[in-house]
């Protein structure tokens, strides 16, 4: 114990920190106790415990990521390879140093300081050592859940000195002076060259999780490892990857009682197969119920973190999952082993099937389509979905959007680099790719109905059993998808979305409008795409 204390003191000194009340890798019960005792000014409600034992915390004014506040340090190294633009906004090293100074001064002045150590990546040959400094107990428990927990032996061996990536979370501290390149009171600044990240002006825990994901998107591809914004599960030796942005169903559909969960959000694909980057899950809670999502519902227990929820009553502490008065982006974080049947270690072989989940706000895409390899590349690069309410500040209802690689916000390098890597792996391992619409049917958003989860699950079951690939298919106009005419346990009229609309002419108009959006969006990638991939897009 004495050795640990001395080492922790040295870790603090490296960053000019001299806190005396430091909790390095505290136990879950201790975090709960400290959370209840916290006197820190966080401008949020106090933490509490819900009726099933989860820690309940609030992130304050910002209940989602703030992409406009994200900055990447532009230096001689990153200038050449980072995909600069709206996703990766540059910040000078000088400005970064100012931001980091504010964060370290804040962290060093707090009554309590938490240090959390953990890995990113379940493949022991390809993992990053992460160290988090934070002041809020809930942030400490969140990262304790989301990182892969080292053994005592690994802590002494791998975390006794410098690590691969540092997070300085000073989220309760806002920026109160002008800094060149910083445009608000908040800043999420990532220094890829020095492998550091600073958080100021936002207490939303998801910023830490996505910061780790972003650095793997930069470092892993340089080692020939493809990073993927996907969930993954495994049946009888067959692995499935599910792609999709927040709210499209990745977490829900990957938690399948008939299959082992590998992970719900972030994966990497190496020459040995796929592996989860995370040690936990960060699931949406809006309208959560035991009937619809029993695995996630039952994971809300001691050790989990509920973020930004409301109770039916403070006396009962029973959560009202339908209450979105704080935000629609209510969340729960829990370790992977809270889901029964999770595979450990969280790794698998090469995928047999890949699902592109899209939340089609226009209501014109089929519930399931089989894609050719060229169509797979076109739709991976396009990444069509809808921004779903609550996952970003300012988004109130779904909006049609394109997000390259189904995760544009997290890409560090150009989308075509990831797309080319995926193309090679799909062809090499004969992986089948399916486009699945979890959005609207029978009309666009506001008119039609959200696709039934029951039918989406049934479609996925048919793919896993091998039945659907042997079905009779027909061509779906304009997009030229192959769609099944009949599928067991699925009403045949929903398989072709045109049949679900009251006015076929209105459907055709909406379909053409969406096809035009695809074509316009893809123009920015045409200079680096092959003619085969370009021709795999919709034809008007």
**How confident is residue 1, by pLDDT bands cut at 50, 70 and 90?**
very low
**270 has which bridge partners?**
273
pLDDT digits (tens, 9 = 90+) for 447-466: 899 999 999 999 999 999 99
Residues 462 and 493 in one domain: yes
Residues 325 and 397 in one domain: no
Residue 267 covered by a domain: no
For the chain, the maximum distance between any two Cα atoms, rounded to a whole number of angstroms, is 76
Of 223, 239, 258, the domain-final residue: 223
Residues 313 and 214 in one domain: no
Residues 140 and 12 in one domain: yes
Residues 355 and 452 in one domain: yes
Output the average pLDDT for the chain: 93
**How confident is residue 9, by pLDDT bands cut at 50, 70 and 90?**
confident
pLDDT digits (tens, 9 = 90+) for 141-157: 999 999 999 999 999 99
Residues 473 and 378 in one domain: yes
Name which of 246, 191, 295, 253 is nearest 453 in CA terms: 253
pTM of the model: 0.90
**How confident is residue 126, by pLDDT bands cut at 50, 70 and 90?**
very high
**How confident is residue 517, by pLDDT bands cut at 50, 70 and 90?**
very high
**How confident is residue 445, by pLDDT bands cut at 50, 70 and 90?**
confident
Catalytic residues: 65, 210, 229, 246, 250-251, 265, 331
Measured between alpha carbons, how far apart are the two ends of the chain, in Å? Answer: 70
Residue 21 covered by a domain: yes
Residues 171 and 289 in one domain: no
Residues 320 and 202 in one domain: no
Q: Would the pLDDT of 6 be above 60?
A: no
| Percentage of the chain exceeding pLDDT 90 | 83
- The total number of structural domains in the chain stands at 3
pLDDT digits (tens, 9 = 90+) for 31-68: 999 999 876 666 789 999 999 999 999 999 999 999 99
* Burial classification of residue 139, based on how many CB atoms lie within 10 Å of its CB (0-12 exposed, 13-18 middle, 19 or more buried): buried
Q: What is the torsional sign of CA 246, 247, 248, 250?
A: positive
Kind of pairing, strands 165-170 and 196-200? Answer: parallel
**How confident is residue 292, by pLDDT bands cut at 50, 70 and 90?**
confident
Q: What is the pLDDT of residue 416?
A: 86
Q: Would the pLDDT of 391 be above 80?
A: no
Q: What is the pLDDT of residue 2?
A: 38
Top pLDDT among 341 and 297 is at 297
Residue 479 covered by a domain: yes
Residue span of the structural domain in which 95 resides: 2-47+64-223
Which tokens belong to 192?
């890829």
State the DSSP string of 278-318: -SEEEEE-TT--TTT-HHHHHT-STT-EEES--EEETTTTE
DSSP code of 417? Answer: H
**Mean pLDDT of the 126-136 span:** 98
Q: What is the CATH number of the domain that holds 145?
A: 3.40.449.10
pLDDT digits (tens, 9 = 90+) for 153-194: 999 999 999 999 999 999 999 999 999 999 999 999 999 999
**281 has which bridge partners?**
334
Residues 312 and 355 in one domain: no
Q: What is the pLDDT of residue 395?
A: 61
Q: What is the pLDDT of residue 134?
A: 98
**Mean pLDDT of the 503-515 span:** 95
**Mean pLDDT of the 284-312 span:** 95
Residue 230 covered by a domain: no
Residue 369 covered by a domain: yes
Q: Would the pLDDT of 359 be above 60?
A: yes
Pair 40, 110: CB distance under 8 Å: yes
pLDDT digits (tens, 9 = 90+) for 216-269: 999 999 999 999 999 999 999 899 999 987 678 887 888 788 899 999 899 999
DSSP code of 75? Answer: -
Q: Phi and psi of 53, rounded to 5°?
A: 100, 0
Q: Would the pLDDT of 69 be above 70?
A: yes
Q: How far is the C-alpha of 212 from the C-alpha of 219, rounded, in Å? A: 11
Residues 413 and 453 in one domain: yes
State the DSSP string of 456-520: HHHHHHHHHHT-GGGS-EEEETTTTEEEES--TTS-HHHHSGGGG-S-HHHHHHHHHHHHHHHHH
Q: How far is the C-alpha of 281 from the C-alpha of 12, rounded, in Å? A: 29
Residue 229 covered by a domain: no
Of 171, 201, 223, the domain-final residue: 223
**How confident is residue 8, by pLDDT bands cut at 50, 70 and 90?**
confident
Residue 170 covered by a domain: yes
Q: What is the CATH number of the domain that holds 308?
A: 2.170.8.10
Q: How far is the C-alpha of 206 from the C-alpha of 192, rounded, in Å? A: 19
Question: Would you call 27 helix, strand, or coil by DSSP?
Answer: coil
**How confident is residue 390, by pLDDT bands cut at 50, 70 and 90?**
low
Q: What is the pLDDT of residue 393?
A: 64
Q: How many CB atoms lie within 10 A of CB 36?
A: 13
Q: What is the pLDDT of residue 446?
A: 80
Q: What is the pLDDT of residue 3?
A: 46
Residues 216 and 293 in one domain: no
Q: What is the pLDDT of residue 5?
A: 54
Residue 247 covered by a domain: no
Pair 120, 277: CB distance under 8 Å: yes
Pair 317, 48: CB distance under 8 Å: yes
Pair 255, 296: CB distance under 8 Å: yes
Q: How many CB atoms lie within 10 A of CB 165?
A: 23
Pair 253, 231: CB distance under 8 Å: yes
Cα separations in angstroms, 29 against 55, 173, 181: 10, 27, 41
Q: What is the CATH number of the domain that holds 468?
A: 3.90.228.20
Of 203, 223, 243, the domain-final residue: 223
Residues 81 and 215 in one domain: yes
Q: How far is the C-alpha of 209 from the C-alpha of 245, rounded, in Å? A: 15
């Amino acid at each position: 114990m004495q050795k640990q204390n001395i080492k922790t003191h040295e870790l603090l000194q490296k960053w000019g920190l001299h806190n005396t009340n430091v909790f390095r890798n505290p136990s879950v019960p201790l975090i709960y106790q400290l959370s209840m005792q916290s006197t820190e000014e966080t401008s949020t409600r106090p933490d509490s415990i819900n009726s099933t034992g989860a820690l309940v915390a609030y992130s304050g004014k910002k209940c989602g990521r703030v992409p406009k506040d994200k900055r990447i340090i532009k230096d001689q190294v990153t200038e050449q390879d980072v995909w600069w633009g709206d996703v990766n906004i540059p910040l000078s090293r000088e400005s970064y140093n100012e931001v980091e100074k504010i964060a370290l001064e804040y962290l060093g002045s707090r009554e309590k300081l938490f240090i959390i150590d953990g890995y990113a990546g379940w493949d022991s040959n390809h993992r990053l050592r992460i160290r988090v400094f934070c002041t809020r107990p809930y942030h400490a428990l969140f990262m304790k859940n989301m990182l892969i927990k080292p053994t005592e032996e690994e802590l002494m061996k791998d975390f006794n000195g410098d690590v691969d990536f540092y997070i300085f979370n000073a989220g309760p501290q806002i920026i109160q002076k002008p800094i060149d390149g910083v445009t608000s009171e908040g800043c999420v600044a990532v220094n890829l060259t020095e492998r550091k990240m600073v958080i100021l002006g936002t207490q939303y825990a998801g910023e830490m999780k996505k910061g780790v994901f972003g650095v793997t998107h930069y470092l892993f591809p340089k080692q020939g490892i493809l990073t993927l914004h996907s969930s993954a599960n495994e049946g009888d030796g067959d692995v499935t990857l599910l792609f999709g942005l927040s709210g499209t169903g990745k977490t829900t559909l990957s938690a399948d009682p008939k299959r082992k969960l590998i992970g719900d959000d972030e994966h990497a694909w190496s020459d040995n197969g796929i592996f989860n980057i995370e040690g936990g899950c960060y699931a949406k809670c809006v309208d959560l119920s035991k009937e619809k999502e029993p695995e996630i519902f039952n994971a809300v227990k001691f050790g989990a973190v509920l973020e930004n929820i409301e109770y039916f009553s403070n006396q009962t502490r029973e959560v009202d999952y339908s209450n979105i008065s704080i935000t629609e982006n209510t969340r729960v974080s829990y370790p992977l082993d809270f889901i029964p049947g999770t595979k450990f270690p969280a790794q698998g072989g090469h995928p047999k099937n890949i699902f592109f989940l899209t939340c089609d706000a226009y209501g014109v895409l089929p519930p399931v389509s089989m894609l050719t390899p060229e169509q797979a590349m076109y739709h991976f690069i396009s990444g069509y979905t809808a921004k779903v309410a609550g996952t970003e500040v300012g988004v109130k209802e779904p909006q049609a959007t394109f997000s390259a690689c189904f995760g544009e916000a997290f890409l560090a390098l150009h989308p075509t680099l990831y797309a080319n890597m995926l193309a090679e792996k799909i062809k090499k391992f004969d992986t089948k790719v399916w486009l699945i619409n979890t959005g609207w049917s029978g009309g666009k958003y506001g008119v039609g109905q959200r696709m039934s989860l029951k039918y989406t699950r049934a479609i996925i079951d048919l793919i896993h059993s091998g039945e659907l690939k042997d079905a009779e298919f027909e061509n779906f106009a304009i997009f030229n998808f192959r769609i099944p005419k009949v599928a067991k346990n699925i009403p045949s009229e929903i398989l072709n979305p045109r049949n679900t609309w009251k006015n076929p002419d209105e459907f055709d108009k909406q379909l053409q409008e969406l096809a035009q959006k695809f074509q316009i969006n893809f123009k920015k990638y045409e200079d680096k795409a092959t003619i085969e991939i370009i021709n795999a897009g919709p034809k008007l």
